[in-house]
């Protein structure tokens, strides 16, 4: 979706001669008011003075321990309504989700009152009711704009929605459901080289290195990050949708992209004509069958990779063969 101004944006130019119109002031008159005047020259070459006091005085630096103890004492006298407003204020200025421990360190409010306040705030700031919604994301809470208002927010900020390519979504899905996973396992499932996509996902901080697998070659293990949970608004990895639901989400993602890239919608007559086309239903059924086949192929590939991994593990865990000359060992068949 683009954020450029359209003909119906309400940015019409007033007619000449009307208040605010181009005929009210000339360019010379505007420049005379907004441009530099003759009196401004007296400050040329003058360096601005420091108007903020330095905080180097150690006597004015509060002791963090005693300050937190005072905060704890003060929080004991807060009413439930006041606790709710304090936490609401802290979450509003936070740039990332805050956990219970982080809220406790910031406010001195104990865990149980925090959870009660979060439950109340979730009821107040929920989708369809408030323009700012409280989400439980990445093990914490965060205020985000209502998704139903995303179109207007993007238009004001003049930004495009962040979307991943199909290759990135498929790679990220395999990592999310199979982590920790190695690059060869990724490429075995997808059937293509994943190096460039994997590097891009790491640059976006959606994927990170978890360590190395204890086997020959010690391949690197990859997994998802906290930013991954934030990007998809997930509480934790247990909140991941099923593979079929994930496929439906990616299909919806592609539909949105195709819709935004499509030409203007036809008139009602054209829509009716398209629906009456006998080949229309066949095309829809064919596309749906292709999507189902692709999903089943991905599921089978992931299952095959898992079976292969189990076989490899059983071979590595099998007892060593007896040495030559050992009469007590079992004879080979």
With a cut of 60, say whether residue 214 has pLDDT above it.
yes
* Domain contains 309: no
* Domain contains 59: no
Confidence of residue 295 (pLDDT cuts 50, 70, 90): low
Do 119 and 191 share a domain, yes or no?
no
Do 138 and 212 share a domain, yes or no?
no
Measured torsion, CA atoms of residues 207, 209, 210, 216, in degrees rounded to the nearest 10:
130
* Domain contains 325: no
CA distance 31 to 41: 17
Do 152 and 178 share a domain, yes or no?
no
Domain boundary at 207, 237, 260, which?
260
List, in order, residues 6 or more apart from 110 with CB less than 8 Å away.
75, 104
CATH code at position 238: 1.10.10.10
With a cut of 90, say whether residue 304 has pLDDT above it.
no
With a cut of 80, say whether residue 319 has pLDDT above it.
no
CA atoms 299, 304, 306, 307: torsion sign: positive
Measured torsion, CA atoms of residues 228, 234, 239, 242, in degrees rounded to the nearest 10:
-60
Confidence of residue 200 (pLDDT cuts 50, 70, 90): very high
With a cut of 80, say whether residue 88 has pLDDT above it.
yes
Do 144 and 171 share a domain, yes or no?
no
Residue 304's CB is within 10 A of a number of other CB atoms, namely 12
Confidence of residue 62 (pLDDT cuts 50, 70, 90): low
Do 220 and 244 share a domain, yes or no?
yes
pLDDT at 181: 92
pLDDT at 275: 46
Q: What is the number of structural domains in the chain?
A: 2
Of 71-80, 101-110, 297-306, highest mean pLDDT: 101-110
pLDDT at 232: 84
pLDDT at 114: 93
Do 151 and 174 share a domain, yes or no?
no
* Domain contains 208: yes
pLDDT at 261: 42
* Domain contains 78: yes
* Domain contains 51: no
CA distance 221 to 203: 16
Q: What is the phi/psi pair of residue 4, to 5°? A: -70, 160
Do 145 and 171 share a domain, yes or no?
no
Do 255 and 183 share a domain, yes or no?
yes
CA atoms 123, 128, 133, 139: torsion sign: positive
Do 244 and 176 share a domain, yes or no?
yes
Confidence of residue 102 (pLDDT cuts 50, 70, 90): very high
Do 104 and 150 share a domain, yes or no?
yes
User: 90 exposed, middle or buried (CB, 10 Å; 0-12, 13-18, 19+)?
Assistant: middle
Residue 125's CB is within 10 A of a number of other CB atoms, namely 20
pLDDT at 198: 93
Nearest to 195 by CA among 217, 177, 168, 216: 168
Query: What tens digit of pLDDT does each residue of 234-249 get?
Result: 888 887 877 666 666 5
Domain boundary at 112, 138, 157, which?
157
Give residue 212's domain range.
166-260
Query: What tens digit of pLDDT does each residue of 151-183 get?
Result: 888 888 888 877 788 888 889 888 988 889 999
Do 153 and 170 share a domain, yes or no?
no
CA distance 106 to 9: 43
Confidence of residue 85 (pLDDT cuts 50, 70, 90): very high
Domain boundary at 197, 228, 260, which?
260
Do 253 and 222 share a domain, yes or no?
yes
Confidence of residue 6 (pLDDT cuts 50, 70, 90): very low
* Domain contains 143: yes
* Domain contains 111: yes
């Amino acid at each position: 979706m683009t954020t450029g101004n359209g003909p119906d944006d309400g940015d019409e130019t007033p007619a000449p001669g009307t208040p605010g119109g181009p005929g009210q002031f000339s360019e010379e008159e505007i420049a005379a008011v907004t441009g530099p005047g003759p009196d401004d020259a007296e400050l040329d070459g003058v360096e601005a003075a420091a108007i903020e006091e330095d905080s180097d005085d150690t006597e004015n630096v509060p002791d963090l321990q005693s300050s937190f103890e005072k905060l704890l004492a003060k929080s004991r006298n807060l009413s439930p309504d006041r606790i709710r407003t304090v936490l609401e204020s802290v979450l509003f200025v936070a740039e990332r989700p805050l956990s219970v421990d982080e809220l406790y360190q910031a406010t001195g409010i104990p865990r149980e009152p925090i959870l009660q306040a979060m439950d109340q705030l979730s009821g107040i700031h929920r989708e369809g009711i408030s323009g700012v919604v409280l989400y439980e994301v990445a093990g914490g809470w965060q205020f985000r704009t209502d998704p139903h208002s995303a179109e207007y927010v993007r238009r004001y900020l003049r930004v495009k929605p962040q979307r991943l390519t199909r290759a990135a979504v498929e790679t990220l899905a395999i990592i999310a459901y199979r982590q920790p996973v190695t690059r060869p396992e990724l490429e075995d499932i997808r059937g293509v080289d994943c190096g460039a996509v994997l590097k891009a996902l790491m640059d976006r901080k959606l994927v990170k290195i978890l360590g190395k697998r204890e086997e020959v070659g010690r391949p690197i293990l990859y997994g998802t990050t906290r930013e991954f949970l934030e990007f998809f608004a997930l509480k934790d990895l247990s909140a991941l949708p099923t593979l079929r639901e994930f496929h439906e989400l990616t299909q919806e993602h592609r539909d949105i992209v195709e819709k935004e890239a499509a030409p203007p919608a036809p008139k009602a007559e054209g829509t009716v004509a398209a629906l009456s086309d006998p080949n229309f239903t066949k095309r829809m059924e064919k596309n749906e069958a292709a999507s189902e086949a692709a999903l089943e192929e991905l599921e089978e590939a992931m299952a095959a990779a898992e079976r292969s991994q189990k076989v490899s593990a059983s071979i590595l865990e099998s007892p060593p063969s007896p040495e030559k000359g050992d009469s007590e060992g079992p004879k080979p068949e």
